[in-house]
């Protein structure tokens, strides 16, 4: 279900998704078929725009659970993966990361920001997305993602739903990096 703000000048969209079965950790094959596969097989919606709000519902469900949404901007498709899993028995955590549907080299050209904002509190995470050719599990194991324990997730949730603001920007390539 998509709730859109389609008025002129409005860039903010909200998508409400229920948790899916576990997201396949990495993609093997041609990148051109990832988007059609996710849309047709898994019914994943695509939201357009520089900034969106992703609303993950039913956060109280037991681990493991994944919530995913595609974000299209700057001529590319990105995949937000929000995973609830137990790293230590009885202590579920939430892990959020952005994956580019593209190569690792292409992913290095972008920066994403995840923001939680509720009850006069704000939490931001900013990083370079990883490629869908990489494994989501390794992103989580490496700690290269936003990590929330259950109490922190509850602090930012509203009736079992967690709103995550997402913004993606192109990264300026410095001349020294371009020469390498």
Please give the sequence-ordered ranges of beta strands (E in DSSP) within 60-108, or none if there are none: 65-73, 76-88, 91-100
Residues 81/85/91/97 CA torsion (nearest 10 deg): -20
Contacts of 87 (CB under 8 A, 6+ apart): 93
Q: Reduce the DSSP state of residue 156 to 3 states and report it.
A: helix
CATH class held by domain 14-19+30-179: mainly beta
The answer to whether 45 touches 71, Cβ cutoff 8 Å, is no
Full-model pTM: 0.80
Give the Cα separation of 86 and 92 in Å (integer). 4
pLDDT in tens, 72-123: 999 999 999 999 998 888 889 999 999 999 999 999 999 999 999 998 999 9
Phi-psi region of 176 (alpha: psi -120 to 50; beta: other; left: phi over 0): alpha
Domain residue spans of the chain? 14-19+30-179
Residue for token pair 């993609």: 27
pLDDT in tens, 125-137: 999 999 988 888 8
């Amino acid at each position: 279900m998509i709730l859109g703000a389609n008025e002129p000048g409005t860039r903010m969209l909200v998508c409400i998704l229920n948790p899916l079965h576990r997201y396949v950790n990495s993609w093997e094959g041609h990148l051109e078929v990832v988007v059609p596969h996710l849309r047709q097989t898994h019914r994943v919606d695509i939201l357009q725009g520089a900034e969106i709000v992703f609303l993950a519902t039913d956060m109280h469900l037991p681990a493991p659970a994944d919530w995913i949404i595609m974000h299209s901007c700057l001529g590319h498709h990105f995949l937000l993966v929000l995973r609830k899993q137990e790293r230590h028995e009885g202590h579920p955590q939430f892990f959020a990361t952005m994956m580019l549907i593209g190569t690792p080299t292409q992913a290095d050209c972008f920066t994403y920001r995840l923001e939680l904002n509720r009850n006069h509190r704000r939490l931001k995470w900013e990083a370079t997305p990883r490629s869908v050719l990489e494994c989501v599990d390794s992103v989580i194991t490496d700690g290269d993602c936003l990590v929330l324990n259950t109490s922190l997730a509850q602090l930012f949730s509203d009736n079992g739903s967690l709103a995550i603001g997402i913004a993606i920007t192109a990264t300026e390539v410095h001349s020294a990096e371009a020469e390498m």
